[in-house]
Amino acid sequence: MKNTQLSKTSHTGSRAASGIAQSPASLDSAKGTLADRVTGALVEQIRQGDFAPGERMPSENELTERFQVSRTVIREAISRLKSEGLVGSRRGSGTVVLAPNNATPFRLDIDVQDSIQAVLRVIELRRGVEGEMAALAAQRRTKAQNQRIRQALKDIDKAVQEGRDGVPEDFAFHAAISEAAHNPLYTSLLQFLSQFLQAADRAFWASAEGQAAARDLARVRDAG
């Protein structure tokens, strides 16, 4: 009964009022912390257009009641929405939904811990980026940069031989290539992707494909 009443509560629009109400059960079935779940629900509402650009978000008290969580959780969720450029503070209006613009931070809606398919999607993205990056590095690298790339490759092989996953060494290898490409955007993109790539790397190097790649690296090292 409580959730039914909440879904009928009006604030700045009936669509948002009915769409934003979340039962405790729906939050419990989602993954992550309470702040993660509330943030995800609000992001989905904004992207679906339940909150139009310029529209005021429900108050902290309303959100606390609707999601049946603490004020701390709601404040954390709103803070995350602000950091992602989805909402902002406006004098006299409180927190409002912002219109999409070129300054909106890029984000990936993916959890590489969730499934092997998610890991493969990240690896596919990485391959597409790194293919062109490596081609540019081959054309533009200096002698010193080439040496750093070769040393980073050896470091990966050494890590694998020592029984480690080689993830930090692998990232250093690709970072060396990005620097040799002489395009700082590649380096920035790799830094952003690092949070996803490192988790994907650990899954990759633990797989049969990763072990085969390690053997290939050893052959490259021996040939060099």
Q: What is the pLDDT of residues 134-173, one digit of tens each?
A: 999 999 999 999 999 999 999 988 988 888 877 788 888 9
39-53, 130-144, 178-192, 204-218: range with highest mean pLDDT: 130-144
On whether the CB atoms of residues 93 and 56 are closer than 8 A, the answer is yes
Average confidence score pLDDT of the chain: 76
- The closest of 221, 220, 224, 217 to 160, measured between CA atoms, is 217
Q: Which residue has the tokens 């999607």?
A: 121
On whether the CB atoms of residues 95 and 89 are closer than 8 A, the answer is yes
Per-residue pLDDT at 210? 63
Say how many Å lie between the first and final Cα of the chain, rounded. 72
Query: Which pair of structure tokens corresponds to residue 156?
Result: 């990966």
Strands 94-97, 87-90: pairing kind: antiparallel
Split at pLDDT 50, 70, 90, the class of 65 is very high
Distance CA 168, CA 179 (A): 16
Cα 96 to its chain centre, rounded Å, is 24
**Cα distances (angstroms) measured from residue 65 to each of 3, 89, 167:** 10, 21, 44
Split at pLDDT 50, 70, 90, the class of 106 is low
Mean pLDDT of 180-196: 84
DSSP-derived secondary structure letter, 217: H
